[in-house]
Structure 1
Amino acid sequence: MKFIRKVANSDILADIMEIPEELRGKKVEIIVLPYENMEDVDSKEQKRRLRGALSKYKNEKLIEKENEAWASAVMENYENS
């Protein structure tokens, strides 16, 4: 990775960025690095989806019963109440 490193008076940066009071008028080291947006890297990783990740565990016979599962469970639990 290429970069630039320079020592200069902080006054030349005053128009570009806010310089803390204790650094004004002093020599500072300026390092310029290429910008790598870590948020972009994170968002690319987040774009991976979990959809279908558990498909190998599905049971076709139980999928047919899903629509009635809650009603059946309630009836089993409270039928004799």
Structure 2
Amino acid sequence: MSDKTLGSPTPEPQGGFARDPEDWVTGDEPMTEAQRSYLDTLAREAGEEIPADITKAEASEHIDRLQKSSGRVSGGSDELQTGG
């Protein structure tokens, strides 16, 4: 058996989805293509321009903010925001 495991020996509230993007292991990596595409859509709908070279964590924060202001609800889009 490997030394490395996934998950946690104790449950995390909401499956850990509420983790602050600043705490993500990969939060400082460039945003994913899925994030880029979705953020582009949200920014266009809001009439905003967002730098194209932001990190995964920054993209997630913009997505959360724009979803709230547009009335969109996150559902099934965990792939877009999972950073680590």
Q: Which has the higher contact order (CA 8 A, sep 6+)?
A: 2
Query: If you compute each CA radius of gyration, which structure gives the higher value, 1 or 2?
Result: 1
In which range does the TM-score fall when normalised by the shorter chain?
under 0.3
Q: What is the TM-score normalised by the length of structure 1?
A: 0.23
